[in-house]
A and B are shown apart, each in its own frame.
Chain A
Amino acid sequence: MAKPKVAFYWCASCGGCEEAVVDLAEDILKVVEAVDIVLWPVALDFKLKDVEAMADGEIAVSFINGAVRLSEQEEWVQLLRRKSGLVVAFGSCSHLGGIPGLANLTTIEEIMANKYDRAPTIDNPDGTRPLPRPVVDGYELELPTPWNTVKRLDEVIEVDYYLPGCAPPPELIMTAVQAILAGELPPKGSVISPEKTLCESCPLNESKPDELVITEFKRVATSQPKPDECYLAQGFVCMGPATRSGCGERCIHGNMPCRGCFGPPPGARDQGTKLLSAIASAGAAENKDEADLFAKGFVDPAGTLYRFSVPSSILKRTLKGK
C-alpha cells in the first residue's frame, strides 16, 4: 500500500511553525517513514503545477500554517483544500490569525505608509511602493496583493482540525500525526489540545490568593515579574485564565506571563473580553475616577488581549481609518 501523501504549506507566518516540524528531531524520521511528503516549500522544491496535477483528494492531509492575507495565499489554500482529504490549521496564525492578525487593528494603508514612508531608517523621497504588476527588465511581473484584513485559515477554506500554539509544541504535533495515521480522529473541527485553561497546569496557580485584587497593572517591558508568584497577583496581565492549556507552560517557565497563543477554551466566545471581564472585576477601584485610572493603567488592551486572536475575536478588525 502506498504511503499517505502529506503536504506542508505556509501562508502569512514567521517560519516558526516550520521550525516546530524540524523540532520533532528523531521523530521526524518516523513521520517520513510513514508518509510521503508531496509539498513543503521551505524544504523541498515542488511547484504549483505539481500540486495542480494531482487528483482531488489525493493528498491525505495538508498542514497549513500562517494567516491568509495575500491573494496568492488564498489561491494556494483553496487548491490544497481541493486536493486534500484533511486540512489541519497548523499554529496560532492559521488557527486564530496570530501575530499577523494584529494588522487588523490598523489599515493596510497605514502599514504601507509606516513601512515605506515613516520609518526613520527609510529614505524614499519618491514614495516608491511595491506594485502588483511591476515591469522588471522589460518583463511584467504579477505580484500578490496584500488585503486590508488578515484572515484565519477557516475564514477562507473549511478546516478539519486545529493544532494551536505559536508554534505548536512537538509533542502536540506528534499526537496529531499519530492520531491521523492511526485513523483515530476526534470530531471534525476539534482543536487538538486540552480544553481546560492554562491555570489548571500552571505551576504558579498555587500562589494565587483566593481573593485576588489587582490594584494597578505592571508591564514586563518596565518591571520584572517575580518567578514564583502568580503573575496576575503581581499585576501583570496574564492570558492564562482565558487560554487553553497544552503548551507545556513554556512562557511561564521562561518567567513570562501567558500571551494567549493557544486561543480561548471552547466556552469562551471571545478570548479578549473574557479576560478583560475577569481582570477588571478583580480591580480595587471604588468609584468612577478610580476605575478610569485603573483602566488607563492597562496599556494597549486590544494588542494584549488579542495578541494572537484579533481575526478570531467577535469584532475581528478595527473600523479605524474607514
Chain B
Amino acid sequence: MATDQFEPRIVGFLCRWCSYTGADLAGTSRIQYPPNMTPIRVMCSGRVDPTFVVQAFAEGADGVMIAGCHPGDCHYDVGNYRAMRRVPMLKNLLEQFGISPERLMLTWVSASEGRKFAADVVTFTETLRRLGPLNFAGETKATDELNLKETAPAV
C-alpha cells in the first residue's frame, strides 16, 4: 500500500435530514470509506452559503462536498433547489479563480443511502487525488510578489 499517497482534505456540508443521516447510516452500517471528508452539519443544503465554499478553499480545502436530500424530498420542500441553482454558478466563478469545478461536488444522499454516501466520498476523494493538492492560499501567496522579469531587450 502506497504510504505517500496524496490525502485530499474535503469539507463536507451535509443536510441534517437526509445526508447527515445517510452518513450516520454509513457509519452504523460499518461501511468503509476514506476519512478525508470532515462533515459540517447544516439544517438544509439551502443553508450552504457559497461564501462557506470559497472560505474553505481559501483555508486549504482540496475539495468541498455539498450533500442534500434528493430533489422533491427536501425536508423544507425546496431548500435543496436553492443549492442546486447556486452550485453551477459558483463552479463557473471558481473556475475563473483557477479552481477546477470538479473540486466542488453537489450530491443527493437520502437518509437510507449510507452506501451511496460512502461511494460518493470514495469517488470524490479519487477525483481530488487525480487533481492533486490545491493549496490555494499557499499558491496564491507564492505568486503575490511575482514581478516582471528583467528580460533584456532584443536589440
CB pair B49 A285 closer than 8 Å: no
B97 contacts A319, CB within 8 Å? yes
Contacts of B143 in A (CB 8 A): 107, 148-149, 317, 319, 322
Task: Report yes or no: B90 in contact with A276, Cβ–Cβ below 8 A.
Answer: yes
Is B146 touching A292 in the complex (CB atoms < 8 A)? Answer: no
Asked if B154 and A127 make an inter-chain contact with CB atoms under 8 angstroms apart, the answer reads: yes
Distance in angstroms between the alpha carbons of A319 and B150 in the assembled complex: 23
Q: Which of B51, B53, B85, B144 interacts with A280 by CB under 8 Å?
A: B85
Known: A314-B58, A315-B58. A277 touches B144 (CB 8 A): no
Q: Are A145 and B148 in contact (CB under 8 A)?
A: yes
> Is residue A291 within 8 Å, beta carbon to beta carbon, of the partner chain?
yes
A319 touches B99 (CB 8 A): yes
Q: A148-B147, A149-B140, A276-B89 are in contact. Are A314 and B98 (CB under 8 A)?
A: no
- Of listed B71, B86, B98, B148, residue having the most chain A CB within 10 A: B148
Complex CA–CA separation, A315 to B144 (angstroms): 12
In the docked arrangement, what's the CA distance between A318 and B146, Å?
Answer: 13
Does A188 sit at the interface, judged by CB under 8 A? no
B51→A131 contact, CB < 8 A: no
Candidates B53, B96, B151, B153; contact of A302 at CB < 8 Å: B96
Q: How far is the CA of A149 from the CA of B143 in the complex (A)?
A: 7
**Given the complex, which residues of A lie within 8 Å of B151, measured CB to CB?**
129, 131
The answer to whether B96 and A133 touch across the interface, beta carbons within 8 angstroms, is: no
Q: Using Cβ atoms and an 8 Å threshold, which residues of chain B touch A292?
A: 88
A168–B155 alpha-carbon span in the complex (Å)? 45
A301 touches which one: B49, B92, B144 (CB < 8 A)? B92
User: Using Cβ atoms and an 8 Å threshold, which residues of chain A touch B97?
Assistant: 105, 302, 315, 317-320
Is B139 touching A112 in the complex (CB atoms < 8 A)? Answer: no
Number of A-B contacts (CB under 8 A): 153
Task: Please classify the interface of chain B as helix (H, G, I), strand (E, B), loop, or mixed, using the class held by over half of its residues.
Answer: helix
Closest A-chain residue to B100, C-beta based?
A: A319
Cα distance, A274 to B54, chains bound together (Å): 11
**Bound-state Cα–Cα, A128 to B152, Å:** 9
Which of chain A's residues 259-302 have a Cβ closer than 8 Å to chain B?
Answer: 268-270, 272-274, 276-277, 280-281, 283, 285-288, 291-292, 294-296, 298, 300-302
Q: Could you tell me if B154 and A298 are in contact, using CB atoms closer than 8 angstroms?
A: no
**Contact between A295 and B92 (Cβ–Cβ < 8 Å)?**
yes
Known pairs A146-B147, A319-B99; A126 contacts B154 (CB<8 A): yes
- Please tell me if A67 contacts chain B, counting CB pairs below 8 Å: no
CB distance from A297 to the nearest CB of B (A): 10
User: B87 on the interface (CB 8 Å rule)?
Assistant: yes
Min CB distance A103 to B, Å, is 12
Number of chain B residues whose Cβ lies closer than 8 Å to a Cβ of chain A:
42
Roughly how many angstroms separate A163 CA and B137 CA in the complex, as a whole number?
Answer: 28
Determine the distance from Cα of A300 to Cα of B143 in the docked complex, in whole angstroms. 23
B139 with A322: CB separation less than 8 A? yes
Complexed CA–CA distance, A131 and B152 (Å): 7
Q: How far is the CA of A146 from the CA of B149 in the complex (A)?
A: 10
A305 CA to B94 CA, complexed, in Å: 12
Max chain B C-beta neighbours (<10 A), residue from A71, A294, A317 = A317
B57 close to A (CB within 8 Å): yes
Is the pair B144, A147 in contact by a Cβ cutoff of 8 Å?
Answer: yes
Q: Is A132 part of the contact surface with B, judged by Cβ < 8 Å?
A: yes
> Smallest CB–CB gap between B147 and chain A, Å?
4
Nearest CB in chain B: distance from A268 CB, A: 8
Q: Are B139 and A269 in contact (CB under 8 A)?
A: no
Report B93-136 residues with CB < 8 Å from chain A CB: 93, 96-99, 134, 136
11 contacts across the A-B interface (CB closer than 8 A): A112-B148, A145-B147, A270-B51, A273-B93, A277-B51, A288-B84, A296-B92, A315-B99, A316-B140, A319-B97, A322-B143
- The chain B residues found within 8 Å of chain A, CB to CB, are 46, 49-51, 53-55, 57-58, 71, 81-82, 84-93, 96-99, 134, 136, 139-140, 143-148, 150-155
Binding site for B on A (CB under 8 A): 71, 105, 107-108, 112, 126-134, 145-149, 268-270, 272-274, 276-277, 280-281, 283, 285-288, 291-292, 294-296, 298, 300-303, 305, 313-322
